[in-house]
Amino acid sequence: MNNRIITMFFLTLLVFPQQHSFAALADPLKTLHIQDGGRIKPFNTFATEALQLVYGRETFKGLPSDEEGKKNESRDAIDILLTWMLIPEHWNEAPIIQIRHNGLKEALGLDPEKTKKTHFSPAELMRNDRLALLIQELNNQREAQEKLDPYFQAVQTLESQISMFQAISTGVALKVLPPSEGSGIKKWFSLNELNGDSQKLFSEITQSFIKLVTMQISAPKPEEIKKVQQELKVAVEKFKEFARKQDPQAYGEEKLVELEVHLKDFHPFQKAWIAYLLATLFAVMAFVSNKSWAKNTAWVFMFLGLALHSYGMFLRVYIIGRPPVSNMYETVIWVPWGTVFFSMILTKLRKNYLLFICSGLVATLCLILSDLSPVVLDSSLQPLEPVLRDNFWLVVHVIIIVTSYAAFFLAFALGDILLIYFLRGEEKYKAVIKEGVHGIYRSIQIGIVLLALGIITGGIWADYSWGRFWGWDPKETWALIALLGYVAVLHGRLAGWVKDFGMTTAAVITFSLVIMAWYGVNFVLGAGLHTYGFGAGGVEYVSAFVAFHILYVVYVATVRKSRLSKKD
Partner 1 sequence: MSPSLNKWFNKFIKQLSSLKLAVFVILSLAVISAVGTIYEAKYDATYAQKTVYTSIYMKAVLGLLCINLIFVMVDRWPWKKHHTGFVLAHIGIIIMLIGAFITEKFGIDGSMAFPLGESNRFITVSSQEVNIFASYDNGNPTRVFARAVDFFKDPPTEEKPLVATLGNQEMKITDYYHYAIGKEEFVAGEKINSGPALRVQLQNKFVNMTQWLFKTPGKKLETISLGPAQIVIHDGDFKYEKGNVLSFQPLEGDRLAYKVYLDRTQSLVKSGIVKAGESFNTGWMDATLRLLKYIPNAQRKLIFVKRESPTPRTRSAILVEYNGEKQWVGLNSVIKFFDTDKVYYFSFGNRRIDLGYDIQLADFRVGKYQGTNRAMSYESVVKVPELGEVLISMNEPMKNKGYTFYQASFEQDEQGNPTTSILSVNKDPGRPIKYLGSFLIVLGSIILFYFKRMKFKEMFKRGAHE
Give least dist CB 133 to partner 1, A.
7
Longest dimension (CA), the chain: 93
Applying CB under 8 A, the span of 53-61, 140-148, 236-244, 369-377 interacting with partner 1 comes to 140-148
Which whole-number Å values give the CA distances from 59 to 56, 75, 84, 87, 95, in the listed order? 9, 6, 14, 19, 15
Please report whether residue 148 would count as binding partner 1 according to CB under 8 A: no
191, amino acid identity:
L
Please report whether residue 107 would count as binding partner 1 according to CB under 8 A: no
Residue from the set 146, 149, 197, 254 that interacts with partner 1 by CB under 8 A: 146
44, amino acid identity:
N
Applying CB under 8 A, the span of 227-235, 286-294, 335-343, 383-391 interacting with partner 1 comes to 383-391
Give least dist CB 151 to partner 1, A.
17
Contact of 522 with 476, CB cutoff 8 Å: no
Calpha distance 143→138 (Å, rounded) = 9
Which whole-number Å values give the CA distances from 15 to 11, 155, 206, in the listed order? 6, 32, 23
Please report whether residue 526 would count as binding partner 1 according to CB under 8 A: yes
Contact of 447 with 397, CB cutoff 8 Å: no
DSSP 3-state assignment of 123?
Answer: helix
Please report whether residue 547 would count as binding partner 1 according to CB under 8 A: no
Residue from the set 15, 123, 126, 133 that interacts with partner 1 by CB under 8 A: 133
Count of residues in contact with partner 1, rule CB under 8 A: 63
Please report whether residue 430 would count as binding partner 1 according to CB under 8 A: no
Residue number, 40 or 357, with CB nearest to partner 1: 40
Calpha distance 314→390 (Å, rounded) = 18
DSSP bridge pairs for 98: 119
Residue from the set 491, 499, 561, 563 that interacts with partner 1 by CB under 8 A: 491
Q: Which residues are within 8 A (CB) of 292 and not within 5 positions of it... i.e. 6 or more apart?
A: none
Contact of 362 with 410, CB cutoff 8 Å: yes
Contact of 56 with 262, CB cutoff 8 Å: no
Please report whether residue 536 would count as binding partner 1 according to CB under 8 A: no
Please report whether residue 188 would count as binding partner 1 according to CB under 8 A: yes
Q: Using CB under 8 A, which residues numbered 45 to 74 contact partner 1?
A: none
Residue from the set 167, 315, 453, 536 that interacts with partner 1 by CB under 8 A: 453
Q: Using CB under 8 A, which residues numbered 320 to 349 contact partner 1?
A: none
Residue number, 245 or 434, with CB nearest to partner 1: 434
Q: Which residues are within 8 A (CB) of 286 and not within 5 positions of it... i.e. 6 or more apart?
A: 294, 295, 298, 353, 356
Residue from the set 15, 126, 217, 449 that interacts with partner 1 by CB under 8 A: 449
Please report whether residue 136 would count as binding partner 1 according to CB under 8 A: yes
Give least dist CB 530 to partner 1, A.
12
DSSP 3-state assignment of 96?
Answer: coil
Q: Which of 352, 357, 488 is nearest to 433 (CA)?
A: 352
- Binding site residues, partner 1, CB under 8 A: 35-40, 129, 132-133, 136, 144-147, 175, 186-188, 250, 383, 386-387, 389-391, 445, 448-449, 452-453, 456, 459-460, 463-474, 477-478, 480-481, 484-485, 487-488, 491-492, 494-495, 513, 521, 525-528
